[in-house]
Copies of this chain bind each other. A is one copy, B any other.
Amino acid sequence: MEETDRAIVAALTADGRLSYTDLAEKVGLSVSAVHQRVRRLEQRGVIKGYAARVSFEALDLPLTAFVAIRPFDPSQPDDAPERLAHLPEIDSCYSVAGEDFYLLLVRVAGPADLERVLQEIRTAANVTTRTTVVLSTPYENRPPKISAEQPNRARSRAPEERAGSSAG
């Protein structure tokens, strides 16, 4: 991916409602060119969508917790993510290496709700849970790094290097 595309993605992760006018100014392109590139990035799946970042406290979801789960019976087929997908309190589901099978991020209104959700998780996926309560969130979902494309020395080499071998 080109550097201009990376600049566009970086700008849109920081502010997803940037106008094409501002975006064009930021990356030094015309409005039409930026518009085309954004559409291409969306089609290619690099940009998967847009979302409002909200205050979970204001939405009456002040309690966040990580829930590590592992199957009660490891011989059964492992389809926990699908079995749990219907629970709206689950924000994210990660399949992880290590002792646990999955790590869930859940957001609830309070301890009573957490207890209920944990029970629902256990019965829905037939798993045991180990819960870590989040006390505060210094920062979350920051814009990603987006470095300049790493040189990838295997495919494109500097001209001086090319002299040695044939292959073309």
User: Interface of A with B (CB < 8 Å)?
Assistant: 1, 6, 9, 12-17, 44-56, 58-61, 64, 66, 81, 85, 88-98, 100, 102-103, 107, 109, 132-147, 149-150
**Contacting residues, chain B, for A142 (C-beta < 8 A):** 88, 90-92
Name A55's contact: one of B45, B60, B139 (CB within 8 Å).
B45
* Copy total for this chain: 2
A71, B7: Cα distance in complex, Å? 36
Known: A66-B96, A81-B138, A95-B135. 20 other contacts (CB 8 A): A1-B59, A14-B51, A16-B52, A45-B55, A47-B53, A47-B55, A49-B52, A49-B53, A64-B94, A66-B94, A88-B144, A88-B145, A89-B145, A93-B140, A95-B136, A96-B133, A97-B133, A98-B133, A102-B138, A103-B134
A168 CB to closest chain B CB, in angstroms?
A: 15
State how many angstroms separate the Cβ of A59 from the closest Cβ of chain B: 6
Task: Kindly list chain B residues whose C-beta atoms are within 8 Å of the C-beta of A97.
Answer: 132-135
